[in-house]
Each structure stands twice: as structure tokens, then as C-alpha cells.
Amino acid sequence: MRHPAFSDALRYSRGKTHAMNTFSDSAVTAFSLITSLDPRFAAIVGRSLAVSAAACVIACGAGLLLGAWLGVARFRGRGAVLALLNTALALPSVVVGLVVYLLLSRSGPLGFLGWLFSFQAMVLAQSVLVLPVVTALVRQTIDDADRSHGEQFRSLGANAFLRSLILLWDERYALLTVLIAAFGRAISEVGAVMIVGGNIEGFTRVMTTSIALETSKGDLPLALALGIVLLGVVLLLNLLIALLRRWRERLDDPLPDVLPVPPARAAGSAVP
Amino acid sequence: MTSLLSLDAVSVRYGRLRALDDCTLSVASGERLALVGSNGSGKSTLLRTLHGLVEPAAGTVRLDAGARQAMLFQRPYMLRASALNNVALGLWLKGTPWRTAKVDALRALERVGLARQAGRNAKALSSGQQQRVALARAWALRPQVLLLDEPTSSLDPAAKRDVEQLMAEFAGAGMTLVFSSHNLGQVKRLASRVVYLEQGRLIADLPVGAFFGGPLPAAAASFLKGELV
């Protein structure tokens, strides 16, 4: 049973078959969806944001560290690892969805978790999808920074691990862009969440799967309206991050008052 | 005087380029050694080799056990943090607890006349001030040997004078200085000994008076002539 306001928007959009009207209808429908504060629609938007935000937190946590380490580490086979990483940037979301589906299916290695067609499954799929994006972009940023001035931190006695953390911290504003890219990749994908979430209304339906569903039902204005709202949400987040960045950059942003126990001087360090 | 660091037949290569070629050099405690030569002659590589940042392809680098070193780069990098924290980080990386490091860092900034700028974002400071913050970062480590790679090359005359004065004061306090410079006036003012490099080879190694007053190998003489024109 649809909520009345959601149904109104839906009814308005139906019957409008003329292609030229689709965009204007969509704009009106989008406006109607937003202003009606339809709880069902709000739940879909909220679920989309929650899934993608959780996936970004997980992927950024791992990707920042992994990317920073890959940025400063020099080891045999690094080129091959980077080639694989860059290839993973092009991972099709349906393939990720399929792999995660197989992992989470009853007979799969993670089947015991019982996550298939759940919120967690969608978070896992989006995390896998976003991790290479975060790792590759962070790796490039830190690698460039290390080549430019990493030697000066080596001179001060920072080993590769500490150097990666220092550069990560120093490049924090540049890395906000990575966060935006990661969130954009997560919230805009449809294939993976559709496969592992199942697009169950009120449970795993998110904005992109709603768009896919409405499109398949021929309700293009509503689908497009949802797309407009999706873009609006991302735009709003970008603006917030840009404001945050500008605000923080204006401050002197000193290091925290307390840093952890200093690193022991590495025995045999290259620099005395 | 005891030798704090030395190179014995050291060669350094960057791919096919021979950046240092069979260099033998010894730096004694309290010396003020200037490295001169044209761009690409190997001055920076020699400093980086002495500092342990570059692995020689051949030869031996000997560092006196326990002789602390610090290096000042031509364009010191400042973290997106206050001047105080930029200095404190160097100390923290060498094992000083953070709170103590901040106290010592403030002392070091006082030493270079920047205590009032301690809370300012180091990136917002002028080039000369950033160089002094970097000097404070190096001085705070209490090094016996301070290596400086063209420390005043990108500074205006006033900032250049400030940095030179600090170098002279550090040397006066017994610190060993090894610095590269294109500024022969500065070399005359600060150095006690001059090494001339060309294409990675050590061509002349003389006391400062002999370098500027005595007969020189042809390459060094023509360099000196060119520089003085």
C-alpha cells in the first residue's frame, strides 16, 4: 500500500507519455515528492544514505590506510599490485553484486551470516565496490606527496609507516575529494544492491533500485524525479564538504594536543 | 680534530647517470665545509649521501657513532600545521614525548626569532620564515652536524642575512656545518673549507683562503671566474 502523497506523485506522473513533457513532469514530481515529506519516500532516501555512508566509512577506513601504505612502500611486485588496483576501478557493480551474492548465499563461505537480501549485504557490496576507488586515489595522492617531500620526513627519522600517516594527515583536505568520489560511486550504483539486496520494499529498496523499478514499469517521470532527488542529495553533501573544507583550511589546524607514544628510534635507521 | 663523517671512494648512480664519482671526503668536528659547483655537479647528492638518504653504488660512508645529524633542504616542506607543531613533529619522530617536544619546539622557535609566530600556520609564513622554522626544526634535534642544501637560494636579501646569521651562530656554538651554495660571498663569510665538484667528481678541496686566493685546478678556476663576473 503506497502512502497517499507518494501515490499522488505517482498518479501525476502516470499517463504523461509525451517525451517532451517527461523532464518538466519529473521536476514537478520531484518537487512534489520532496515537499510531501512522504515517509515511504523518506525511508528510501534515508536507507540509500545509510547504506552508502556505512559502505564509505568501511571502505575509507581500509582504503585510506592501504592506499597510504601503497603510496610510500616500495616492494617487489608493486607495479603488478598497482595494475590490479587500477583495473579494480573498472569493476562492474553487477559483478561485485554477483560475487557478494555467491559469498553470502546459503552455500557460500559467508552464508552462515544470513545477510543475503539485507542492509548488511548492500553495505558489504558497496564497500567492495568503493574500496578500490578510495585505495587507488589515496595511493596516487600519497605517492605524489612522498616523491615531492617524503625525503624530508625520512630525514627526520620517519619510517615508511609513519611517513604514510603523516602524509595522509597532511593531505586531508585533498582527500576529502576522494571521500566525495567514493560516496558518489556508492550511492549511484544499482547493480550490486539490486542483486544482494533484492529491492524489497520497505526493507532493501534504495533510490537507485527504485529508479530501476519505476523505469521498468514505464513510469519515467517518477524514475527521473527520483534521479533528480538523488543528485540533489549528492549535491547537498558536496556543498557541506566544501564548506567544511573551507572552514577548516582557514584555521591553523594544529596537530592534536596529545600524540601517541613517540616511535622508538629504529635501530639501524638510515638517518642518524 | 676528529672526523665526524667521511666518504671513501663513494659513487652514486641515478639509473645510468653517475651523480657522484669516486668521491673521498672527510668532515672534522667543528668544520664549516662549503660545497660549490654548477647545477648538477653533485652537491645535493653529496649532502644526501652524507645524511644517509642515498645509498652509494660503490664506496663507503662512515658516520661517527652517536653523531647526530640534521638536514635543511633548499625548499623545506611545512606541514599544514602550526610552526610550533612542525618543529615538535621532528622531535617526536626522534623519540621525544609530544608534550616535551612542544616545549622544546617553542624554545627552538625562540632561538630563530619566531616565537611569536609559533601558533601560525607554517604554510602561511614567508619563505624566509619557513626556512627559519626549518632551521629551528633542525636545531631542536641538537645535531652535531648540520647539512644545508642551498639554504638561502630562494630567499630575499633580508631573509638571507637572517639565515646566514643563524648559521654563523650555530657554527660559533661548535656545530659542524656542511652546506652547498652558489653564493660565493656567503661561502667566503661562512666556510672554513671549500670543496669544488664538477660532474660528480671532487675537483678541489681547500681551506677557504686557499680556494679564493691560491692557484686552483683549471675547472675550479674557470668556475670561480664565471661566478665572480
Domain with A139 in it: what CATH number? Answer: 1.10.3720.10
Minimum mean pLDDT range among A156-160, A256-260, B117-121, B195-199: A256-260
Shortest alpha-carbon distance between residue A256 and chain B (Å): 9
Q: What percent of chain A has pLDDT over 90?
A: 60
**pLDDT class for A7, splitting at 50, 70, 90?**
low
pLDDT in tens, A199-236: 999 999 999 999 999 999 988 878 888 888 889 988 98
Residues 6 or more apart from A15 whose CB is under 8 A from it?
none
pTM of the model: 0.82
Shortest alpha-carbon distance between residue A149 and chain B (Å): 6
Q: Is residue A1 part of a domain?
A: no
Mutation target among B92, B135, B137, B146 for the A interface, most CBs of A within 10 A:
B92
Nearest CA-CA partner of B83 in B66, B108, B62: B108
Residues 6 or more apart from A153 whose CB is under 8 A from it?
A162, A163, A166, A167, B93
Shortest alpha-carbon distance between residue B147 and chain A (Å): 11
As a whole number of angstroms, the distance between CA A67 and CA A182 comes to 14
Model pLDDT, residue A272? 45
Could you write out the three-class secondary structure of B42-66? CHHHHHHHHCCCCCCCEEEEEECCC
**pLDDT class for A238, splitting at 50, 70, 90?**
confident
Model pLDDT, residue A25? 76
Contacts of B51 in chain A (CB under 8 A): 155, 271
Q: Is residue A260 part of a domain?
A: no
pLDDT surpassing 80 at residue A20: no
Contacts of A245 in chain B (CB under 8 A): none
Model pLDDT, residue A102? 97
As a whole number of angstroms, the distance between CA B132 and CA B95 comes to 23
> Which alpha helices (H) appear in A156-203, and where do they start and end?
160-170, 172-188, 191-197
Nearest CA-CA partner of B164 in B143, B174, B150: B150
- Average pLDDT rounded to a whole number, residues B110-133: 92
CA dihedral sign, ordered A230, A236, A237, A238: positive
pLDDT surpassing 90 at residue B3: no
Q: Is residue A110 part of a domain?
A: yes
Cell 619546539 sits at which residue? B105
Instruction: Please list, residue by residue across A226-255, b when 16 or more beta carbons sit within 10 angstroms of its beta carbon and e when fewer do.
Output: bbbbbeebbeebeeeeeeeeeeeeeebbbb
Please tell me the number of Cα atoms within 13 Å of B196 on its side-chain side.
Answer: 19
Name the more confident of A264 and B71. Answer: B71
As a whole number of angstroms, the distance between CA A193 and CA A96 comes to 9
Contacts of B76 in chain A (CB under 8 A): 152
Model pLDDT, residue A40? 84
Name the more confident of B169 and A271. Answer: B169
Residue B176 in contact with partner chain A when CB distance is under 8 A = no
- Average pLDDT rounded to a whole number, residues B52-63: 93
Q: Is residue A163 part of a domain?
A: yes
Beta-carbon separation of A170 and B80 below 8 A = yes
As a whole number of angstroms, the distance between CA A16 and CA A94 comes to 32
pLDDT surpassing 70 at residue A256: no
Model pLDDT, residue A34? 77
Model pLDDT, residue A266? 43
Please tell me the number of Cα atoms within 13 Å of A231 on its side-chain side.
Answer: 7
Q: Which residues of A touch B (CB under 8 A)?
A: 148-149, 151-158, 162, 166, 169-170, 172-173, 252-255, 258-259, 261-265, 270-272
Beta-carbon separation of B98 and A259 below 8 A = yes
Instruction: Please list, residue by residue across A136-149, b when 16 or more beta carbons sit within 10 angstroms of its beta carbon and e when fewer do.
Output: bbbbbbbbebbeeb
**Contact criterion met (CB below 8 Å) for A184 and A234:** yes
pLDDT in tens, A108-134: 999 999 999 999 999 999 999 999 999
Shortest alpha-carbon distance between residue A152 and chain B (Å): 7
Which of A158, A262, A271 comes nearest B69 by C-beta? A271
pLDDT surpassing 50 at residue A62: yes
Residue B98 in contact with partner chain A when CB distance is under 8 A = yes
pLDDT in tens, A76-89: 999 999 999 999 99
pLDDT surpassing 70 at residue A166: yes
As a whole number of angstroms, the distance between CA A58 and CA A81 comes to 21
Shortest alpha-carbon distance between residue B115 and chain A (Å): 15
Q: What percent of chain B has pLDDT over 90?
A: 82
Structure-derived torsion over alpha carbons of residues B76, B78, B83, B84, reported in degrees to the nearest 10: -100
**pLDDT class for A6, splitting at 50, 70, 90?**
low
**What residues make up the domain containing A116?**
23-251
Model pLDDT, residue A16? 46
Model pLDDT, residue A265? 46
As a whole number of angstroms, the distance between CA B130 and CA A28 comes to 56
Strands B3-14 and B58-63: antiparallel
Strands B17-28 and B69-72: unpaired
Average confidence score pLDDT of chain A: 86
Residues 6 or more apart from A219 whose CB is under 8 A from it?
A10, A13, A14
Beta-carbon separation of A162 and B68 below 8 A = no
The number of beta carbons lying within 10 Å of the beta carbon of residue B110 is: 13
Structure-derived torsion over alpha carbons of residues A151, A153, A154, A157, reported in degrees to the nearest 10: 160
- Please, what is the angle between helix A19-36 and helix A220-250, to 10°? 60
Work out how many domains chain A is built from and give that number: 1
Beta-carbon separation of B79 and A259 below 8 A = no
Global ipTM: 0.90
Name the more confident of A9 and B183. Answer: B183
